[in-house]
């Protein structure tokens, strides 16, 4: 099935250690005070009380809308109230049953990150790349200069996941497409004080994901047990948000009102996020952060460039099968 600017697709087209010798220090009363001070400093640092904890500055409920062909998505980033959280362009929580899905469509100028929460999705592209991702798997696709692909549910019943679109900088928009695929079992996991994390990109609890992020990005899937608290550092000047999957949590300040599933919380600048689970059930959410590109964004559905002229050129490239879209001419996904 092939779609080129069909009306169905028009809606998208519109992140001390002291080396002094203790003996000599202890002989000297002044040095002893110094030693105590440096130990105090170290204790404060390891308790990671953030200098500038991030706060929730915007709360957006991701209401369901139709997308693709017969598919429902809860869009948060990308909806009118939350157009562009640089470098993020879109976040959809999808719940799709066959025959609905996202048949043959193009992308240029950004990355799509698909994270399966339940069930499986099959992906086929115009270069013969084909695969199925299941619960807990991640496909990190750098569309670069161009991909045409289909993304369709593979299992029976409702297939759920998240799809995040991350913009690429002008110098990277026309790079060769690339995939990074992680099976659930290969995703780094860590646990601390009642908090479990699956590290899709970046670092948490001293554990690093193998994913290469061309636009520097962090992407964590946290589960916080009832009564537990999380403190997660985030690069100071990055934009970041939380999307709640399950349960209820208190984000930013201990006295703020709890937020529940399907809410997207945009965070203020700062060096880290504090989260409390004061409820009786587990709290699961993703925390995503990225370095802003600070470049103009011109989006025409699945094409995201810097200028209108580049969008015009992209539509021509797609239509005529040029500059990365050569294989689009003949290709149709297989049933």
Q: Does 285 bind ligand FJE (CB under 6 A)?
A: no
Residues 150/100, Cβ–Cβ less than 8 Å: no
> How far is C-alpha 187 from the chain's CA centre?
14
Q: What are phi and psi of 280, to 5 degrees?
A: -95, 0
Q: Does 109 bind ligand FJE (CB under 6 A)?
A: no
Q: What are phi and psi of 49, to 5 degrees?
A: -80, 120
Report the residue from 73, 82, 116, 250 that binds ligand FJE according to the rule CB under 6 A.
Answer: 73
Dist. CA 34–CA 28, nearest whole Å: 10
Closest CB 250 distance from ligand FJE, rounded Å: 29
Instruction: State which H helix or E strand residue 167 sits in.
Output: strand 159-167
Closest CB 152 distance from ligand FJE, rounded Å: 8
Q: Does 167 bind ligand FJE (CB under 6 A)?
A: no
Nearer to ligand FJE among residue 258 and residue 301 (C-beta): 301
Closest CB 12 distance from ligand FJE, rounded Å: 4
If phi > 0 it is left, if psi is from -120 to 50 it is alpha, else beta; for residue 317 that is alpha
Q: Does 317 bind ligand FJE (CB under 6 A)?
A: no
Report the residue from 15, 76, 163, 239 that binds ligand FJE according to the rule CB under 6 A.
Answer: 163
| Angle of CA points 320, 325, 301, to nearest 5° | 90
Nearer to ligand FJE among residue 110 and residue 285 (C-beta): 110
Choose one: 23-31, 46-54, 66-74, 205-213; the region binding ligand FJE (CB under 6 A).
66-74
Q: Does 110 bind ligand FJE (CB under 6 A)?
A: no
| Contact set for ligand FJE, span 1-30 (CB under 6 A) | 9, 12
Compose the 116-155 pattern: x for residues touching ligand FJE by CB under 6 A, - for all others: -----x-----------------------------x----
Q: Does 102 bind ligand FJE (CB under 6 A)?
A: yes
Of 203, 272, 199, 195, whose CA–CA distance to 235 is shortest?
A: 272
Residues 132/120, Cβ–Cβ less than 8 Å: yes
Nearer to ligand FJE among residue 51 and residue 156 (C-beta): 156
Q: Does 315 bind ligand FJE (CB under 6 A)?
A: no
Nearer to ligand FJE among residue 146 and residue 272 (C-beta): 146
Dist. CA 195–CA 201, nearest whole Å: 17
| Angle of CA points 189, 194, 199, to nearest 5° | 20
Dist. CA 82–CA 163, nearest whole Å: 16
């Amino acid at each position: 099935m092939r779609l080129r600017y069909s009306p169905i697709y028009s809606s998208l087209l519109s992140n001390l250690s002291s080396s002094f010798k203790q003996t000599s220090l202890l002989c000297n009363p002044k040095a002893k005070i110094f030693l105590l001070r440096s130990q105090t400093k170290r204790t404060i640092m390891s308790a990671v009380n953030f200098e500038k904890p991030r706060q929730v500055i915007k709360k957006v409920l991701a209401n369901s809308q139709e997308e693709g062909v017969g598919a429902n998505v809860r869009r948060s980033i990308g909806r009118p109230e939350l157009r562009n959280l640089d470098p993020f362009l879109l976040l959809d929580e999808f719940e799709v049953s066959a025959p609905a899905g996202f048949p043959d469509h193009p992308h240029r100028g950004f990355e799509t990150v698909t994270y399966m929460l339940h069930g499986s999705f099959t992906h086929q592209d115009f270069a013969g790349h084909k695969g199925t991702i299941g619960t807990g798997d991640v496909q990190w696709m750098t569309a670069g200069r161009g991909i045409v692909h289909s993304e369709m549910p593979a299992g029976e019943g409702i297939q759920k996941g998240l799809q995040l679109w991350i913009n690429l900088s002008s110098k990277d928009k026309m790079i060769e497409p690339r995939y990074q695929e992680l099976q659930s079992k290969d995703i780094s996991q860590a646990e601390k004080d009642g908090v479990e994390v699956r590290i899709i990109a970046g670092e948490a609890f001293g554990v690093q994901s193998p994913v290469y992020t061309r636009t520097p990005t962090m992407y964590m899937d946290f589960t916080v047990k009832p009564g537990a608290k999380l403190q997660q550092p985030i690069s100071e000047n990055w934009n970041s948000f939380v999307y709640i999957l399950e349960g209820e949590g208190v984000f930013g300040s201990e006295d703020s009102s709890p937020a529940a599933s399907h809410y997207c919380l945009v965070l203020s600048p700062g060096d880290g996020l504090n989260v409390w689970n004061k409820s009786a059930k587990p709290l699961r959410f993703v925390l995503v952060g990225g370095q802003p590109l600070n470049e103009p964004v011109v989006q025409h559905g699945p094409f995201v460039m810097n200028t209108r002229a580049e969008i015009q050129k992209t539509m021509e490239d797609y239509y005529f099968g040029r500059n990365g879209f050569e294989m689009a001419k003949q290709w149709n996904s297989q049933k």
